[in-house]
Structure 1
Amino acid sequence: MKILIVEDDADLREIIVRSLEKERYIVAEAPDYKTALYKVEDYDYDCILLDIMLPDGNGLDLLKEFHDIGKHPNVIILSAKDSIEDKVAGLDLGADDYLPKPFHLAELHARIKSLLRRNHREGKKLVQYGNIEINPDDYKVTVNGKELELNRKEYDILFYFMSRPGRLVNKNTLAESVWGDHIDQVDNFDFIYAQIKNLRKHLKEAGATPELKAVYGFGYKFVVE
């Protein structure tokens, strides 16, 4: 899962980044309004943590701009302005949650997990497709009830497709979601192909019914034949 932190306080931003990376999220940063808008225009995120008071603009105006450019990300507002007016305005503009500063990192993590579960998995704790089941809380993967051992990136790729069964996924989109924003600067995708090849092998050996199909010239689709 890929998260963007829009926060001008460098110390707080670093603390949040480190805590989320420990939870195995892919994390991007924006210290101001302009950078955040640029990133959301160019990349997609599963969740955005948005501060209201930015040095070059207001986070609520930024939230409105996201929708104006056709982007509708999951947003948790983080703000020291703990007022009813700001909460209502943020929710009316499409924010999903509001967490006043200061906050405990444990609560932030819980809010993110709850939001992603609600919007990506219809409120379900487990992710299931075919005979594969994933528990995101402990990164456990089972096939027919038997645990499957995967490395970090193999798991991330599988979770990405398990959250989007049957959907055609462009290889660039997959790369950005699993490896981060600046993956478009690499010369080739050989390292991605290697991880996918290994994941396919593990799934086949475990007897998984869903298959990761290559769609020539575009990307991949995770389907049950």
Structure 2
Amino acid sequence: MKILIIEDEGDLRETIKESLLKEKYIVETAADFTSAFEKISIYDYDCILLDIMLPNGNGLDLLEELKKNGKSENVIIISAKNSLDDKVKGLALGADDYLTKPFHLAELNARINAVLRRKNFKGKDCIEVENVVLDIQERTLTIDNRNIHLNKKEFDILNYFLSNKNRLITKTALAEYVWGDHIDQADNFDFIYYQIKNLRKKLEESNAQIIIEMIYGIGYKLTEK
């Protein structure tokens, strides 16, 4: 799961980032309006933590941009402004939740989990396709009720494929999602090939009723057998 923190307070931004990294999320950050606008324009995120008061602009303007692109439903506003008007406007623009500073990290994590369940899994903690069950909270894979070990990247890749079943996934989109926006610095995508090769082997050996197909020269697609 990929999360963007848009927050200008450096200490708070890093505290939230470290907390979410411990929860095995992929985390990116933006400290001002300009960098945040660039990120939301280029990349997709499963959840966005959005501060209202930002250098060079207002977080609600970013929310309006997200709404135009149909991406506002996964936003949690985090702001010291306990203003009813801001809360109402943010929710009207499609934000999923509103959390007033200061807050406990445990509460923030609970709110994030709720957003992810509603957005990606229709309120459930697991993705089930045929005989495959991926538990998002526990980060486990079972096939025919047998536990299958996955490393972190294999889990993130399978999660992304299952969330986009029957859709063509380009190598670039997959790399950006699983490795973050620093993927731009990579020379090639060979590391993606090897991760997927290992994942496909594990699925095949476990008689999974899903398959990750390679679409030559473009990317991959997960389908049911």
Same fold at TM > 0.5: yes
User: 1:62-121 CA distances to partner (integer Å, 9 max, x unpaired)?
Assistant: 2112334x2514110000111211111001111111011111111111111110100111
Partner of 1:15: 15
CA distance in 1, matches of 2:171, 2:86: 39
What is the match of residue 43 of structure 1?
43
Which structure 1 residue ranges, 5 or more long, are not aligned?
Answer: none
Q: Distance in 2 between matches of 1:140 and 1:71?
A: 30
Q: How does 1:116-127 map to 2 (within 5 A)?
A: 116-127=116-127
Matched, 1:141 2:147: no
User: Counterpart in 1 of 2:103?
Assistant: 103
Write the distance in 2 (CA, Å) between the matches of 1:223 and 1:153: 20
Task: Give the aligned CA root-mean-square deviation in angstroms.
Answer: 1.1
Matched residue pairs, number?
224
Matches within 5 A, 1:25-104: 25-68=25-68, 70=69, 72-73=71-72, 74-104=74-104
Q: Which amino acid aligns with 2:38?
A: Y
Change (3 A) 1:100 1:29: same
Which residue in the other structure is 2:163 paired with?
163
CA contact (8 A) 1:5 1:50 kept: yes
- Maintained 8 Å contact 1:40/1:71: no
Number of the residue aligned with 2:216: 216
- Report the Cα offset of residue 171 of structure 1: 1.0
Q: 1:143 touches 1:206 (CA, 8 Å); kept in 2?
A: yes
- Tell me the equivalent position of 1:200: 200
* TM-score, structure 1 normalization: 0.97
- Spell out, residue by residue over 1:139-175, the C-alpha distance to the aligned partner (whole angstroms, 9 max, x if none): 1110000000111111111111111211111111110
SS of 2:222 mapped into structure 1: strand
Q: In structure 1, how many angstroms separate the alpha carbons of the residues matched to 2:77 and 2:186?
A: 33
TM-score in terms of structure 2 length: 0.97
CA distance in 1, matches of 2:163, 2:128: 9
Identity between Structure 1 and Structure 2 (%): 57
